[in-house]
Amino acid sequence: MAMFSPMFARECIERKRDGGRLSATDWTQLMHDYASGRVPDYQMAALAMAIWFRGMTDDETAALMQAMLASGARLDFSHLRAPRIDKHSTGGVGDKTSLILAPLVAACGVAVPMMSGRGLGHTGGTLDKLEAIPGFRTDLSLERARRQVEEIGCVLIGQTAEIAPADRKLYALRDATATVESIPLIAASIMSKKLAEGLTGLVLDVKHGSGAFMPERERALALAQLMVALGAQHGVPVVALLTAMDRPLGRACGNALEVEEAIMVLRGEGPADLIEVTMALAIEMLCLGEVARDAADARAQLEHAMASGRAAERFEPVIAAQGGDAAVVADPSRLPQAAAVEFFRADTAGTVLEIRPREIGLGITALGGGRSRVEDVVDPTVGFVISARPGDRVRAGEPLATVFARDATGVAKGMSALRLAIRIGEGEARVLPLIDVRVTAGGTA
Ligand code: URA
């Protein structure tokens, strides 16, 4: 590593500002100096904005990702015989697939070291959902996480301080400087964390549609392709599915409500759209882990794990090992319950044209179940269960959803959010295909 020079970061910013490119050595030096505090936030913010406008070449993105990966520790599972596969979603509303996939896929013989995030803005976060289970802890050390994967085949934790610290710092800075929405920066950020998990394969659920943080299909596809390529360069096969986030996934939206719905799916019950996306992702995980011959074999194994009770049973030791009340699996009524519950009814007859996920997510935050600032504490009990789906014909007065709130004020807020989110009228509901394309290193199909 070259000696630190205060002019070096300035020269890098200037080059990116003018549309030039930085070498792999430059990225390594920059991220090293940034992680150790020698490059100040104001210079890194200027560089992030230059990247936002000018973009990065694929080589630069790979070098940035490598530098962020190298800034921290990695899980070492090289002694384990079992395949290690994780799933990452770019986030949405009602997306509780991680809670289902980890125990389900582990029950089929694939180890799942799953590292997830918290909800921010209108999207929910897996860690908040898990923490709705009384006592559940997601802040395990890497060493404890590693042991749990060896013993139970699955762990669900948050990004620890040891993993990709340069990304952690840069992501917080991007959040504050409106530079999150850059495809190369997102790809490098997500993949630097995922590749630190010591995986043998990775499945990505890249959302598009109005409730996704990358709504445009073309941009979501470009992000998927870039992340698949970054994985391949590191010898980790990655499969990405482009899935719909123009409506919430499943019926439950809100932390404890989503845990309950996830437990239903582990038993093979639950909403059809949630089951379809979960199965598609789980099939990819089993095939990447080479525990299934093909998709049909994977589906048969997964259905058997659900029907036999093995999938739900696998969740119990995971919850217990992480300090939670494992009895919620057999009895979800042990989850924290909202004090005020009320139906939301259609004010007119017609067709449900739209259920806008962004408005639902913001509604959860208004009820106290989401975060506007990182330090906000979330209420696990609040949210919505939306029984209506786009395309349904409804009568005036028919219940479309249920609001779960702390009190009457919360119920009123929930009703307002649902009025904004659910559009009823005449005509056809236009929805995105639930599962669009599949992206692998071999191409997009
Ligand atoms: N999630 C991440 O981890 N990083 C990004 O840049 C965006 C979403």
Whether residue 122 is found in the same domain as residue 227: yes
pLDDT of residue 375: 81
The alpha carbon torsion through 366, 256, 167, 218 (nearest 10 deg) reads: -70
CA distance 240 to 256: 28
Please indicate whether residue 186, judged by its CB atom, sits closer than 6 Å to ligand 1.
yes
- Which whole-number Å values give the CA distances from 29 to 32, 35, 70, 193, in the listed order? 5, 10, 11, 19
User: Residue 430: inside a domain, yes or no?
Assistant: no
Which residue minimizes the CA distance to atom 5 of ligand 1? Answer: 186
Kindly state whether residues 269 and 312 are assigned to the same domain.
Answer: yes
Residue 250, by phi and psi: left (phi above 0), alpha (psi -120 to 50) or beta? left
> In sequence order, which residues have a C-beta less than 8 Å from that of residue 192 and are 6 or more positions away?
65, 66, 68, 69, 164, 166, 167
Q: Hey, what amino acid is at 424? A: I
- Ligand 1 pocket, residue 378 CB under 6 Å: no
Closest by Cα among 444, 386, 391, 375 to 415: 386
Give the CA distances from residue 437 to residues 69, 204, 207, 239, in Å, rounded to whole numbers and listed in that order: 28, 12, 11, 11
Which whole-number Å values give the CA distances from 418 to 297, 355, 411, in the listed order?
41, 9, 11
- Selected catalytic residue, list 26, 95, 128, 167: 167
Please check whether residues 419 and 343 belong to one and the same domain.
yes
Q: What is the CATH number of the domain that holds 35?
A: 1.20.970.10
CA nearest neighbour of 436 among 249, 125, 220: 220
Predicted TM-score (pTM) of the model is 0.96
Together in a domain, 325 and 260: yes
Residue 138 resides in a domain: yes
User: Is 16 considered catalytic here?
Assistant: no
Nearest alpha carbon, ligand 1 atom 6: 186
187 Cα–ligand 1 center, Å: 7
| Residue 216 covered by a domain | yes
- Claim to verify: residue 104 and residue 23 sit in the same structural domain: no
Pocket test for ligand 1, best of 90, 170, 189 (most atoms within 8 A of CB): 189
Reported as a single tens digit per residue, the pLDDT across 173-203 is: 998 899 999 999 999 999 999 999 999 999 9
Phi, psi values for residue 172, rounded to 5°: -60, -40
Q: Is residue 366 part of a domain?
A: yes
User: Domain of 376: which CATH number?
Assistant: 3.90.1170.30
Is 193 a known active-site residue? Answer: yes
Taking the CA of residue 190 as reference, the ligand 1 atom at the shortest distance is 3
Are residues 241 and 182 both part of a single domain?
A: yes
CA of 167 to the centre of ligand 1 (A): 9
- To test the pocket of ligand 1, the residue of 175, 180, 197, 223 to mutate (highest count of ligand atoms within 8 Å of its CB) is 180
Does 109 map to a domain?
yes
Cα(158)–Cα(306) distance, rounded to whole angstroms? 26
Residue 303 and residue 405 in one domain = no
Residue 168 shares a structural domain with residue 293: yes
- Confirm if 273 and 434 have CB atoms less than 8 A apart: yes
Give the Cβ contact number of residue 401 at 10 Å.
Answer: 24
Output the DSSP codes for 28-58: HHHHHHHHTTSS-HHHHHHHHHHHHHH---H
Q: What is the mean pLDDT of residues 22-34?
A: 96
DSSP state letter for 4: P
Q: Whose CA is nearest to atom 8 of ligand 1?
A: 186
Euclidean distance between CA atoms 434 and 443, whole angstroms: 20
Task: Answer whether residue 5 shows pLDDT above 90.
Answer: no
Distances, alpha carbon 326 to alpha carbons 47, 187, 312, 321, 331, in Å: 47, 35, 11, 9, 9
Asked whether residue 100 is assigned to any structural domain, the reply reads yes
Q: Are 121 and 141 in contact (CB under 8 A)?
A: no
Measure 387 CA to ligand 1 centroid, in angstroms: 31
Q: Is 171 in the pocket of ligand 1 (CB under 6 A)?
A: yes
Identify whether residues 194 and 171 lie together within a single domain. Answer: yes
Q: Are residues 189 and 314 in the same domain?
A: yes
Nearest to 274 by CA among 212, 205, 366, 363: 205
Query: What is the predicted pLDDT for the residue at 285?
Result: 98
**350 & 404 share domain:** yes
Gyration radius of the chain over CA positions: 22
Helical ranges in 267-309 per DSSP H: 272-288, 295-307
CA dihedral sign, ordered 424, 276, 306, 206: negative
Determine whether 167 is an active site residue: yes
The string of pLDDT tens digits covering residues 207-259 is: 999 999 899 999 999 999 999 999 999 999 999 999 999 999 999 999 999 99
What is the per-residue pLDDT across 284-343, written as a single tens digit (0 to 9) for each? 999 999 999 999 999 999 999 999 999 999 999 999 999 999 999 999 999 999 999 999
- For residue 52, the tally of other CB atoms under 10 A from its CB is 18
User: Which residue in 193, 208, 356, 371 is the catalytic one?
Assistant: 193
Q: How far apart are CA 214 and CA 221, in angstroms?
A: 10
Closest residue by Cα to atom 1, ligand 1, is 190
* Residue ranges making up the domain that contains 191: 85-331+437-444
User: Cα(81)–Cα(324) distance, rounded to whole angstroms?
Assistant: 28
Whether residue 73 lies inside any domain: the answer is no
Nearest CA to ligand 1 atom 2: 190
Helix (H, G, I), strand (E, B) or coil at 287: helix
In a domain, residue 78? The reply is: no
What are the pLDDT digits (tens) for 401-436?
Answer: 999 999 999 999 999 999 999 999 999 999 999 999
For residue 268, pLDDT beyond 90: yes
Residue 265 CA to residue 39 CA, distance in Å, equals 48
End-to-end CA distance of the chain: 42
3-state secondary structure of 399: strand
CATH value at residue 188: 3.40.1030.10
Given a cut of 70, is residue 1 above it in pLDDT? no
Claim to verify: residue 320 and residue 345 sit in the same structural domain:
no
Helix (H) or strand (E) holding 89: strand 85-89
Number of domains into which the chain is organized: 3
| Catalytic pick among 88, 122, 146, 247 | 88
